[in-house]
Amino acid sequence: MKRLSWPLWLSAGALFLFLYAPIAVVILHSFNSAKRGGPWQGFTIEWYVTLFQSPEKLSAIHNTLLLAFASTAVSTVLGSLLGYGLSRYSFPGKKLFSWLMYVPVVIPDIVAAVAMLMCFATLRHWLGLFELGLPTMIIAHITFQTPFIGIIVRSRLEGMDPAMEEAAHDLGADTWRTFRHITLPLMMPGVFAGAALAFTMSIDDFVVSFFAAGPGATTLPILIYSSVKRGITPDINALSTLIVAASILGTIAVMFFQRRGEK
């Protein structure tokens, strides 16, 4: 294996510095005792204590976690069924449906957010349903999370050896027993990886949440956006640091389950 030369090390270091220096600054200032940011004045965890003593921010944390857990639970089931169906069954229009599954993944978030808002407004006008709030946010998040999970689960299933399922059938197992004892355990790393990715995306999302939110449905990204208009305070840095930590943990979980699935 060739060793990297110093120009490659230098360019890689510059790239990582460009990517992570802004995040490091936010994390550093979340421990700065200065009340309005600026120069370093000493180490403190006061802003994290203040953060968990604020009813507004606790409500935003509650809404964010409820939104993430609820949407991830539903989208994991739907995405797993979607990936399994596209991998194991043939039906008219399968290629078209497979292509359409990628549309929510590649379209800009702002387009998806406006589309969801128009859909909710139309249903509210004609049927009196879907007042904007936490339920509409959950539905909106399920909409963009499900295709990601479906793609990951489908990729996992297509990498499996079909001979194992065929052997189960040859030994007398029906379709349900084969799925329960052979297919499901083998596809679980993909399911967990997709769920971890969906959870991370839900916590980080701002655009879709902003358009689908209603009164009393403020999440952490929305709270940060509204607070920044009045100036960046240390508690906002602390809040941003917690979101970064949640994203890092979600990314580590995705990588863990993907590596586990490759073994």
Q: What is the pLDDT of residues 47-63, one digit of tens each?
A: 888 888 888 888 888 89
Residue 257 belongs to a domain: yes
Considering only the C-alpha atoms of the chain, give the largest distance between any 2 of them, rounded to a whole number of Å.
Answer: 72
Q: Cα 30 from chain centroid?
A: 24
Domain count, the chain: 1
Residue 157: inside a domain:
yes
Percent helix, strand and coil across the chain, each to the nearest 5:
75, 0, 20
- 52, part of any domain: yes
Look up the domain containing 219 and give its range.
Answer: 41-262
- What dihedral do alpha carbons 47, 213, 138, 201 form, nearest 10°? -50
Predicted confidence at residue 257, as pLDDT, reads 67
Q: What is the average pLDDT across 97-122?
A: 87
CB 168 within 8 A of CB 54: no
Residue 193 covered by a domain: yes
Distances from the Cα of 216 to the Cα of 62, 67, 180, 208, angstroms: 11, 13, 42, 16
Model pTM greater than 0.85?
A: no
Question: pLDDT-derived band of residue 221, with 50, 70 and 90 as boundaries?
Answer: confident
User: Over 90: is that where the pLDDT of 145 sits?
Assistant: yes
Q: What percent of the chain has pLDDT over 90?
A: 15
Any idea what the CATH number is for the domain that residue 143 is in? Answer: 1.10.3720.10
State both tokens at 64. 């964010």
Q: Does 1 score more than 60 pLDDT?
A: no
Q: In the prediction, which pLDDT does 261 show?
A: 55
pLDDT band at residue 69 using 50, 70 and 90 as cut-offs: very high
- In-domain check, residue 4: no
pLDDT for residue 202 is more than 60? yes
103 in any annotated domain: yes
User: Domain for residue 136, yes or no?
Assistant: yes
Instruction: For the beta carbon of residue 27, count every other beta carbon within 10 angstroms.
Output: 16
Q: Between 55-88 and 184-204, two packed helices, what is the crossing angle to 10 degrees?
A: 140
Enter the tokens of residue 192: 């967990």
Question: Is residue 191, in this structure, part of any structural domain at all?
Answer: yes
